[in-house]
Chains A and B, each alone.
Chain A
Amino acid sequence: MDFVNALVQGTLLGGLYALFAAGLSLIFGVMRLVNIAHGDLIVLAAYLGLTTTVALGVHPLVALIVVVPAMAGIGYVLQRAVLNHTLGDDILPPLLVTFGLSVIIQNALLEGYSADPQKMDAGALETASVALGPLSLGVLPLLTFAIAVAVIAGLQWCFYRTPLGRAFRATSDNQDIAQLMGLNKRHVFGLAMALALAVTAVAGILLGIRTSFDPSVGGGRLIFGFEAVIIGGLGNLWGTLVGGVILGVAQTVGATINPGWQLLAGHIAFLVILAVRPNGLFPRISA
């Protein structure tokens, strides 16, 4: 029974990891940018959520109304002002610049919020649970998973059914030709980063409700996001959800066997899949 429980809890945890990963996946898919600062942007969103809940006295989920557009705006400006200048044939500049950005965000958060762990208060939502046979499922993990599915379905719809998604895919396919179609690639990239950080805002708020956070935890979230993307296969959003679930299940099962093995089990699952299927389980684009 413990094992089944671990499986279910791990699956729900995977929803959160998929949310960490979706933004990374989107950005890499559209502009081949590996965003090292992604984890720190998740943490930044959590702190913005914290400030919003405290300042306005609202529930963390209501804070999404403020934080999602704020992060989207930050994403657009960041892309237009900084990251667009790093993109080119060489993959090193964006890596270095986003690494620097990661350092800047961490230190700015330290300066602004101190190193003390913080947590958002979501009231009864944090402890509410529903019984499913012998299992007890937290409402928050269930909600997180449902949000993850909805976000990924929404991104999928945006990518394959809207003019914006068409612009993303065309620009991803061939930047030169996309520009000949009247697309300003700098603007398209800005919109992609805005969308990615909007998703990151959701991930950050859910993270901040679930666990305590401090300015240094971004790196770990980045790794989880990366692992989910790679397991699922590059460029496949549903694959990213599966990747998140596999990572979540591996961690939870590992923790059931021995509490110290939680992270290790996740990394081992990642390494095994990387060794057996180097392109991930459901790759869409070849890297």
Chain B
Amino acid sequence: MPDPILKLNGLDAFYGDFQALYGVELSVHEGEVLAIIGANGAGKTTMLRSISGLITNDAAQISYRGQQIGNARPDVVAQMGLAMVPEGRQLFPSLSVEENLMIGGRVNRKGPWNLRRVYDLFPILEERRAQASTSLSGGQQQMVAIGRALMSNPDLIMFDEISLGLAPVIIRDIYKALPGIVGGGMSAVIVEQDITKALAVSSRVYCLQEGRVSLEGRSDTVSRDEIARAYFGVE
């Protein structure tokens, strides 16, 4: 197997004074879709925030394409080709739908994604392009958040709680769009509460429990029992 593009080397991360991650080892390979599961408070969001640079760590604890980025600024990390779709969408309320997408394209990396491609992927957004992002439904907001991340033409896209708070029919639509997103060789890390969905869409899965990796395996071979143990810590 070739070298991973993203590697966590014993990541210890803190959420304020509280240590949220303990020596997490993780790797993402080119074109791979990785699922991260785990209960609330297991450290999933802290992990994504650490990778994206919103939480500063020791430089060597995170490496991306051979460079140490553990203490890199978030805007620098974004320029390197990592994008995040944050939990709860977090669109810019004072920007229109189209402006939200355009600010995602500010990073200005070369690649297939532009406004046209995003609108082709989510046609509803083109109809709503001039509206305030806050006027959209939760599902449409998630589409904007995904489009905004894609506009930077990332090599690795991270989804935090991709389906949290969305209606089941919307979740289905979002998952239907996923292969079109990651099919082009882009790697993805998906944090998801719905274990069935997470396993179906990913090639490998990590489970976090109280800040530690409690399970790592291929999504098509891990058993429900293993997951239940890793998830809840029951013996």
Contact = CB atoms under 8 A, between A and B. Distances in A.
A170 B148 CA distance: 13
Interface in B86-136: 86, 90, 92-95, 99, 102-104, 106-108
B24 to A, nearest CB: 21
Nearest to B99: A166
A180 B86 contact: yes
Nearest to B53: A179
Tell me the dominant secondary structure on chain A's binding face: helix
B183 to A, nearest CB: 23
A176 B74 contact: yes
A174 B53 CA distance: 15
B95 A184 contact: no
B203 to A, nearest CB: 25
Nearest to B102: A166
Interface string A159-175: 00001001101101110
Interface string A176-218: 1111111111000000000000000000000000000000000
B186 interface: no
Contacts of B52: 180
Nearest to A171: B92
B44 to A, nearest CB: 17
Contacts of A167: 103, 106
A169 B92 contact: yes
Contact of B74 (A163, A173, A179): A179
B73 interface: yes
Contacts of A170: 92, 94-95, 103
A180 B78 contact: yes
A169 B74 CA distance: 18
A185 B54 CA distance: 12
Contact of B92 (A173, A179, A184): A173
Contacts of B84: 180
A179 B54 contact: yes
A181 B106 contact: yes
B80 to A, nearest CB: 10
Nearest to A187: B75
A181 B94 contact: no
Interface in B159-206: none
Given A170-B95, A172-B94, A174-B92, A180 B106 contact: no
Contacts of A177: 86, 90, 92
Interface string B42-54: 0000000000111
A243 to B, nearest CB: 21
A166 B98 CA distance: 11
Contacts of A163: 102, 106
A169 B96 CA distance: 11
B28 interface: no
Given A163-B106, A166-B102, A179 B78 contact: yes
B106 A182 contact: yes
Contacts of A179: 53-54, 73-75, 78
Given A166-B95, A170-B92, A173-B95, A183 B75 contact: yes
A184 B75 contact: yes
B152 interface: yes
Contact of A180 (B83, B94, B95): B83
B79 interface: yes
A167 B79 CA distance: 16
Contact of B94 (A169, A176, A184, A185): A169
29 contacts: A166-B102, A169-B94, A169-B95, A170-B92, A170-B95, A173-B92, A173-B93, A176-B74, A178-B103, A179-B54, A179-B74, A180-B74, A180-B75, A180-B78, A180-B86, A181-B75, A181-B103, A181-B104, A181-B107, A181-B148, A181-B152, A182-B75, A182-B78, A182-B79, A182-B106, A182-B108, A182-B152, A183-B75, A185-B75
Given A180-B52, A180-B86, 17 more contacts: A166-B95, A166-B102, A166-B103, A169-B92, A170-B92, A173-B92, A178-B92, A179-B73, A179-B74, A180-B83, A181-B75, A181-B152, A182-B78, A182-B106, A183-B75, A183-B103, A184-B73
Interface of A: 163, 166-167, 169-170, 172-174, 176-185
